Structure 1
Amino acid sequence: MDFLTQVFAKASATTETIPAAVVVNDTKPVTDTKESSTPSKEPKEWGYDLYPERRGEVYKPKWSRILMGMEGKENIDRYKCEQNVYWCVKNGPLVKLMMGALRSSGCPMDLRRHISCEVCDPTVTGGYDPVLNQIVVCQNMATNKSMVHGVLTHEMIHMFDYCNNDLDFRNVDHLACTEIRAANLAHCSFLSAMMQGDASPFNVKEAHQNCVKSKALASVLAVRNISHEQAVAAVERVFPKCYADLEPIGRRIRRNSTDQQKAFMEAPMYGYDVY
């Protein structure tokens, strides 16, 4: 718990773009028992404020940013994003593994139905919408194949958890667990932990766990309007069990290694289809 307290203090000084689960209720937040005159509270409570198009809004670029070349290319960005998604589906080992695992679990993916490239808040690179069972790839933030591959793998882990378990995204413990699993399997390595300051030569053994905790905490805080203390408590409660769960990838991926290819080749050994 002391580590997560240090992470929060450090995160308040720097902003990191992260993949996040879009956590929403089918109707309205369970904590809201009275009608409110401020409808903006619901998106803030459940993460929709990070994904404007999820709220039915049409993105309108600003003229000042268009003149500076920073906006106004949304259609081109969406086309490039969709190209990157298609490339990852055909060539990305972990994406292919996850699609095979989803199909084996009875939840096959249709690219046109289950993946959407959209303009998002700059603080996130992707998200998972459990109501529509749809992955959001942020076309304005995930701008290359490597980033799109990471987003798809992360969000497909959320989709896999939703398909195979009685997962309730309104339950903060469930949310923390799936975020721990996604960070554990798709993101963290000793190198990434060093880059974000969670590791040093004196705590190599705990570097990966610390990286997973910090990323899971950041994701929970990004999509749920809860206090830091509540988020830390949720991550700590479920961490031992969820950190040990390596399905369906079967191993923790080391950066600059052949682990991705090995995990893909080992998938049939765990009963998953090869996509």
Structure 2
Amino acid sequence: MNPSTEQPGEEKSEEKWGFDLYPERRGEKYKPSLTKIALLGEGREQSQKIKCEKNVWYCAKSSPLVKLMLAALKSSGCEVDLTRHVSCEVCDVSVSGGYDSELNQVVVCQNVARTEGLTQGVLTHELIHMFDYCRNKLDFKNIDHLACTEVRAANLAHCSFLSAVAQGDASPFHIAKAHQDCVKTKAMYSVKCTRNVTLTEAKAAVDRVFDRCYNDLEPIGRRLRRNSPDMHKAYKERFIYGYD
């Protein structure tokens, strides 16, 4: 993978790089309002955190995808310590997780990713970002680099025909391109959310890098089909890439 290093346009003067979606990232403490406590059941952040950490631990020991990503990172010289590199936090409800390249940490949003299944999806997606940062030294402040890793994460961890249908990117007459369109949509909105750019700018970045980043399947090695044994096959085939 070799995304373009050119940066179109000038940087925004007050770019937050998505950290405003994760209020605890820089030492702030989440404080639910009385209204949210009464109407939304908030105020149980500590118990949510404990449950989230249990889900993370379970996925690290039981999920073929998460175990594959951890093995790939270790073999690449970037071994993951769950207590150091994964953090359960309260986030903006528009996101379920994130990757902080400055602190080299995966964030699992404890108030959104509340099940083992959702936690597995978040970990796989964000560990792909960590892998790209480790192996390819991506600059997440470069919109083309960001678009590339978002394309890869959507391609390898999220999109299937059913999810493409849910996003409106597929129909019985559009099956052939459904997966690609799903990946483009997911990546485009992820770039927009992280960089606070327009959809037009996000789409342009995704289009610039799409072909080469969509075809880069490392370290999972395949596109996963829903309700298939693909993730178990990917884990068994990890030795092909030198991951143990």
Query: Which deviations, in whole Å up to 9, do the C-alpha atoms of 1:68-108 show, x marking residues without a partner?
Result: 35201000000000000000000000000000000000000
| 2:227 is aligned with 1:256 | yes
| 2:140 is aligned with 1:169 | yes
Uncovered stretches (5+) of structure 1, i.e. residues with no partner: 1-28, 33-40
* Aligned 1:11-160 pairs, distance under 5 A: 31-32=12-13, 41-43=14-16, 46-68=17-39, 70-160=41-131
Match for residue 237 of structure 1? 208
Q: State how far apart, in whole Å, the 1-side matches of 2:40 and 2:184 are.
A: 37
- 1:251 to partner: Cα distance: 0.2
Match for residue 188 of structure 1? 159
- 1:31 to partner: Cα distance: 4.6
Q: State how far apart, in whole Å, the 2-side matches of 1:82 and 1:183 are.
A: 24
Q: State how far apart, in whole Å, the 1-side matches of 2:40 and 2:93 are.
A: 16
Match for residue 5 of structure 2? none
- 1:231 to partner: Cα distance: 1.1
Identity of aligned residues (%): 63
- 1:208 to partner: Cα distance: 0.1
Q: State how far apart, in whole Å, the 2-side matches of 1:53 and 1:169 are.
A: 20
Secondary structure of the residue aligned to 2:59 is helix
Match for residue 10 of structure 1? none
Q: State how far apart, in whole Å, the 2-side matches of 1:231 and 1:30 are.
A: 14
Q: State how far apart, in whole Å, the 1-side matches of 2:228 and 2:237 are.
A: 15
Secondary structure of the residue aligned to 1:135 is strand
Structure 1 segments (4+ residues) deviating >2 Å: 29-32
Query: Which deviations, in whole Å up to 9, do the C-alpha atoms of 1:179-199 show, x marking residues without a partner?
Result: 000000000011111122110
Q: State how far apart, in whole Å, the 2-side matches of 1:82 and 1:30 are.
A: 36
Secondary structure of the residue aligned to 2:25 is helix
Q: State how far apart, in whole Å, the 2-side matches of 1:268 and 1:208 are.
A: 27
Match for residue 7 of structure 2? none
- 1:30 to partner: Cα distance: 5.5
- 1:225 to partner: Cα distance: 2.1
- 1:63 to partner: Cα distance: 1.4
Q: TM-score of the superposition, structure 2-length normalised?
A: 0.94
Secondary structure of the residue aligned to 2:206 is helix
- 1:227 to partner: Cα distance: 2.2
Which of the residues 262, 265, 270 maps onto 2:236?
Answer: 265
Is the deviation greater in 55-64 or in 166-175?
Answer: 55-64
**1:261 maps to amino acid:** H
Query: Which deviations, in whole Å up to 9, do the C-alpha atoms of 1:221-270 show, x marking residues without a partner?
Result: 00102222211111001000000000000000001110010000000122
Q: How many residues are paired up?
A: 235
Q: State how far apart, in whole Å, the 2-side matches of 1:176 and 1:187 are.
A: 15
Q: State how far apart, in whole Å, the 1-side matches of 2:78 and 2:64 are.
A: 19
**2:52 maps to amino acid:** C
C-alpha contact (below 8 Å) 2:84/2:105 kept by paired residues: yes
Which of the residues 168, 177, 187 maps onto 1:197?
Answer: 168
Q: State how far apart, in whole Å, the 1-side matches of 2:114 and 2:20 are.
A: 21
Is the deviation greater in 145-154 or in 51-60?
Answer: 51-60
